[in-house]
Structure 1
Amino acid sequence: MDAVGRRAGPVSFDDWVAARGPALLRLAYVLTGNAADAEDVVQDALSRALPRWERISRADDVDAYVRRMVVNAHTSWWRKFRRRESPAAEVRPDGVVAGPDEGMPSDERRRLWAACQDLPADQRTAVVLRYYEQLDYDEIAALTGVREGTVRSRVSRGIAVLREKMGERDE
């Protein structure tokens, strides 16, 4: 298996999950906002992937395929439970999410995290996939099932909201 999950032949489900599970959990954590929900989303996606694994493991990009399953599971979960959502006052600093903001002061990270959680789910998903997962717009479009222009719009609007909430203004 190469660095992005593409493989010439099938790989066992257990081996793939051992190698890529933590990355899926990080993605789900950023999408959902907490570890328990992230675990539920990943478990749901993997439980759907297991019976189809023989076909999935032959895909050109197994990571992209299962990442899409995680995004779809999050969307389904969000639709199902959005009325029962109860926001937390503060994000747990348990180190689950690590990324380019590590050099930011912790109060800035908390403000940014709160601002991200305030974004609508479609904008938050687009921003996370673009800047956290480092995917291109066309990859995000394929992953989320919307047009590339819609992805660009969602990312642009999401970033504009984040800049405003963080106090950055275009001069």
Structure 2
Amino acid sequence: MSDTSDAGYLDYVNGRVVALRRMAFLLCGNPDQADDLVQETITKLYARWPRISQADNVDAYVHTMIVRAFLDEKRRGWWRVGLFASAPERPALPPRPVEEQATLRAALAQVPARQQAVLVLRFLCDLPVAEVARILGCTDGTVKSQTSHGLKRLRQILDEPVPAIDSPDGGAR
């Protein structure tokens, strides 16, 4: 790649990495996995930068790459896990999220991956139906139906009654 192309790539990535990481985190709910998704995406982006930089909407192209990396990750399973001689050092944990965020994240994790991607893109990234359809490579109708099914599933998950916990005195609380 030429120096000017490298500079364009670095400018793009440096200007968007925070937003890309946020989107990846919203999709997967795990900061380490979000970093992996962003790293995988920007690595592929570098290899294709001369062609991608000519696109009309580079951001939309990169959003598509992140969503596809997320969906591929969900399909892969454990065979992809690499083993090391020693465990890597863990960065300090971020502050605990508020209870509602944790509840929503747990509920989203129970929704099928494609519905999860649609819900995150539509409601957390605030993208219109047409943009989500283009990112996922499907029709507007598919996005709408996946949104409907995903919201229905979230409502089922979040509206489930909490089982009663027996207290030490024998009565339910």
Q: Please say whether Structure 1 and Structure 2 have the same fold, judged by a TM-score greater than 0.5.
A: yes
Q: Is residue 2:11 matched to residue 1:15? A: yes
Q: Which has the higher contact order (CA 8 A, sep 6+)?
A: 1
Question: Relative to structure 1, is the Cα distance of residues 65 and 96 closer, same or farther in structure 2, using a 3 angstrom cutoff?
Answer: farther
In structure 1, runs of 5+ residues without a counterpart are 1-9, 86-91, 98-105
The residue aligned with 2:124 is 132
CA distance in 1, matches of 2:36, 2:136: 19
Determine the structure 2 residue equivalent to 1:120. 112
TM-score normalised over the length of structure 1:
0.75
Q: Is the 8 A contact 1:31 1:74 kept in 2?
A: yes
Q: Kindly state the Cα deviation for residue 107 of structure 1 after the two structures are TM-superposed.
A: 2.2
* Structure 1 residues 22-171: aligned runs within 5 Å: 22-81=18-77, 94=94, 106-167=98-159
Shift of 1:67: 0.8
How many aligned positions are there?
145
1:83 shift after superposition: 7.5
Segments of structure 2 that go 5 or more residues without pairing to the other structure are: 1-5, 82-91, 161-173
CA distance in 1, matches of 2:127, 2:75: 24
Kept in 2: contact 1:117–1:124 (CA 8 A):
yes
Alpha-carbon distance change, 109 to 62 in structure 1, aligned in 2, over 3 angstroms: same
Shift of 1:59: 1.0
Aligned-partner Cα distance in 2 for 1:167–1:93: 30
**Secondary structure at the residue paired with 2:54?**
coil
Label 1:55 to 1:128 Cα distance change in 2 as closer, same or farther (>3 A): same
Deviation at 1:45, TM superposition (A): 1.1
| Cα 1:134–1:73 shift into 2, 3 Å | same
- Shift, 1:114, TM fit: 0.8
What is the CA-CA distance between 1:116 and the residue it aligns to?
0.8
RMSD: 2.7
| Mapped contact 1:26–1:96 kept (Cα < 8 A) | no
CA change 1:34–1:94 in 2 (3 A) is same
> Offset of 1:75 from its aligned partner?
1.5
Aligned residues with identical type, % of pairs: 37
Question: Is this contact kept in 2: 1:11–1:57, CA < 8 A?
Answer: no
Q: TM-score, normalised by structure 2?
A: 0.75
> Residues 143, 95 of structure 1: CA spacing in aligned structure 2 closer, same or farther, 3 A cutoff?
farther
